[in-house]
Structure 1
Amino acid sequence: MTAAPAGPVVDRAVLVVAVVALVAVLLVLAVALLSGRWWQRRAAAGRAQRVAPGRPLLVALAAGDDDDGTLLDRLATLPRAQWRALEPVAVAMLGKVRGDARTALVALLERRGVVQRALRDARHRRSTTRARAAHLLGLVGGPGATPRLAALLGDRDPEVRAVTARSLGRLGDPSAATPLVRALVRARPLPHQVVVPALARIGPASRTALLAAADHHDPTVRARVIEALGLVGAVDTAPRLVRALGEDPAVDVRLRAARALGRLGAPSAVGPLLAATGPDEPTALRVTAAQALGVLGARRAIPVLAGLVADPHHWVAHTAAAALVAVGPDGAAALRGLADDGPGAGADRPASAHAREALAAAPGAAAA
């Protein structure tokens, strides 16, 4: 009796059809790939051909060689197809020039209707179009740009909101400070790394807007505002940060105030930061205050920091040792005094181990 086959029987004709179909699919994909590349090259060549007549005129305009306005008139009357290819070049140039060259390029974009189109596109249903419009408005500015961008800070798309914040910072309009602060403290805030650089470029008006929000009832909002004050370099707000460090009921707010004071480098912060390292304070605050004292390079903090190197909390002691290195040669000398208790001191005296570790991490300080 013949044994049954071990597996399913594949009809040879079906197998041949499958192989032929696979080869056909691969051929179609290869043709599509080659056709796509050919089309891209052709489109790039077409754009280059359309850009070629206007590019020298655009370069000359940006170079300030248009005393009589002839270049601007010629560029403003280029055929539509040529201008559509040249427009991205003009926009890219706009971000690289200043003074009269920028003024001339903005005038060209206004005459071609690019600015008005951007104001309209800021309300477009497609998020990519709104983002491009926000970017362009940040480059050209002008009447209506700041209010339209301020409205886009509430856009449903996070990328549009981020582009808008950067554009408002680029414009540097003081009236944008308050909308940017609102974007920082709302329920779904924009990230600090997006908003803070924009506020820093705006200048004093941003500090005013931040201070107005520093007494918000929500501690999360206060914490964001306090941190932003340190990041924008608002040295004149140090008294407000000192008050937050000493009086705010929220530990997170106090912690961020300590960090901000360290960034600002205000000498008046040394006393309050020393107080924040006290044994009755939360451990996280003590660590942050010690780190800030090191950033400040506060020599009068050396005795307190040296005492903290023996603190029973590991991270307080570790941070205090690193802060002494940051203070400078006098701080390193204090660490060497703690470390010079003999090779076996580390087991019995944690301060010696922390001091040795900090000095080893800073060979220059150890050799001083």
Structure 2
Amino acid sequence: MKYIVGLSRWVVGILFIISGLIKLNDPVGFSFKLEEYFSQGVLNIPFLEPHALSISIVVVILEVLLGIMLLVGYRPKFTVYSLLGMIVFFTFLTFYSAYFNKVTDCGCFGDAIKLTPWQSFYKDIALLVLIIVLTVGIKYVNSIANYNIRRGIVLLALLGCVLFANHVLNHLPVVDFRPYKIGANIEEGMSMPENAPQAIFNYEWKFNVNGEEKIYVTQGDYPTVDGEYVSVETTEIQKGYEPPIHDFTIEQEGENFAESLLQEDKLVMVIAYDLAKSDYDAFTAIKTVTDKAKAKGYKVIGMSASNDELSGKIVAKYNLDFSFYFTDETALKTIVRSNPAVLVLEKGTIKQKVHYNDVDDLKF
């Protein structure tokens, strides 16, 4: 039992630390995922949506700290039972997502490791088993040093997490796992490679044959049956290849200009997924930097999911020398975690990407 508890302790501790650090690198992204869970039609607790970012920061820091506390043996009873409560809650969420197909990605490992809802659920079941082992054999969760050293390690970890969270919130994630990272080409990210795996579907055809309902299964072809057609049900049995970038458009008055704009040698994108939630003070600095870019021969555009009325007010108020195009809000949230933010592209390749606090760092 001692060795089983020891193995469980290391697996659980390391997984919680890794999972927490990945999400701590991008707490804004995790908050978007929490907003999905809180929304109507999922858990139906929309009053928590405005607090999603604060909750995400607390959860991911707690995840990291509990992993460290488990490994060093700091307050083992509190640690193990806290882990048990957390994993029970996560297991409920992942089961709910998988069974009801409500949230297609739990965000357990952020954008670094994508898991399907059922994969996330099975992962949580495995962790639940390991943590139950820890609760049963809690007497074997020994300390690695004296109390003051253990407490010092935990306090240093807490300070480090807080400072790291503050940094990524005021700038951008240190490591960008998304398909819009610097150096990525957007057009290439939208393309389908040759011989890419196609989705496979089962078609269950229901026919009335001599007064008896019979089902014939094919993978697309209409069956040759001497009977009366009743209905058909389609089930995806194998997912096809999905480009890392999809649903990306740059629209104005119903026309998509993405293809032509992504051919520009010098393009600056000012991105604000929701202008109603933007930091308006940032537009003063953005005005300065975009005027500088235009003077250097860059084409400047805005991209937002907000309506024309609101974007027009922002343009007029801050005397911006560019207009906004419409892009899907989810796509904009994926591109960059700052609202607003600035990207510099060369023929569709992202060369620079900055938080609104860092627009002065842009080089043209």
Same fold (TM over 0.5): no
TM-score norm. by structure 2 comes to: 0.20
TM-score norm. by structure 1 comes to: 0.20
More helix by share: 1
More strand by share: 2
For the pair shown, the structure with the greater C-alpha radius of gyration is 1
